[in-house]
Amino acid sequence: MVLAAGLRGAPAADRALDELCRAYWYPLYAYVRHRGYSKADAEDLVQGFFARFLKRNYLAGLTSERGRFRSFMLAALKHFLANEWDRAQRQKRGGGVAPLALDWQGADSRYRIEPADPLSPDKLYDRAWATALLELVIGRLRAELAAGGRADFFDAVKEFLAVGKAAIPYADAAARTGLSEGAVRVAVHRLRKRYRELLRKEIAQTLADPAQVEDELRSLFAAVAT
């Protein structure tokens, strides 16, 4: 996905680039806010970063040997903050053409309700990345079930995706869904399996080496747990 996003003009490039930007913009925003910037300045900085990112097509020269994409994005933002922002013309909110229609108000509300913690900006970025990725995968899984007319079932059992198998109250789930307990067990097992498949696939798309998937999964769950 990352390499495809750098191939401007290719059929899948715009879609790949849009998906990547939407997955990473809030973690970058959270990082900038945690560095001490105000809401307005963080908006301008992240908007300016993406404007520069898209204009210069940072992904064009990216190769599969460059490692984790999340690390690449954070390093690119740090470079922008340290060396380029002073020379860049600030992208005022509402001015010019926004590279993406980002939900700034929603981002600020989300940032404000996050508990205060002593995490470094880098650690907070990792946690925001992990949360955004999990939300993205859950959204895709729901879309799959909705396409088959099973959105209500997904909404009733989605909380079981993040708990241990032994902790799932199958009898309660059966009462919620109107299915037998045995049917719920089978359905939830398949749902959890598909969730893991989608999560692994999403992570693999932003890694140079498929062998790094397990390590990145451990990093993801460690980031969520902090």
- pLDDT tens-digit series, residues 65-117: 456 778 888 888 898 888 766 665 554 444 444 455 556 666 676 666 565 56
Domain that residue 170 falls in = 120-226
56 and 100: one domain?
A: yes
89 and 125: one domain?
A: no
Residue 180, token pair as written in the block: 């037998």
225 and 133: one domain?
A: yes
Residues 6+ apart with CB under 8 A from 216: 68, 203, 207
Least confident range of 1-10, 48-57, 134-143: 1-10
User: What whole-number percentage of the chain has pLDDT above 70?
Assistant: 69
Please say whether the beta carbons of 69 and 20 come within 8 A: yes
Mean pLDDT of 157-173: 88
**What is the Cα–Cα distance from 88 to 69, expressed in whole angstroms?**
24
Higher pLDDT residue, 220 or 112? Answer: 220
Closest CA to 140 of 193, 198, 76: 198
108 and 216: one domain?
A: no
97 and 128: one domain?
A: no
Closest CA to 30 of 110, 139, 115: 110
Q: Over the stretch 170-189, which tens digit does the pLDDT of each residue have?
A: 998 899 889 999 999 999 99
Residue 219, token pair as written in the block: 């990093």
Other CB atoms within 10 Å distance of the CB of residue 65: 7
pLDDT range class, residue 143, cuts 50, 70, 90: very high
Q: Over the stretch 35-47, which tens digit does the pLDDT of each residue have?
A: 888 888 888 888 8
Residues 6+ apart with CB under 8 A from 104: 43, 93
177 and 99: one domain?
A: no
pLDDT of residue 1: 47
* pLDDT above 80 for 157: yes
Number of folded domains in the chain? 2
89 and 141: one domain?
A: no
User: What whole-number percentage of the chain has pLDDT above 90?
Assistant: 22
89 and 189: one domain?
A: no
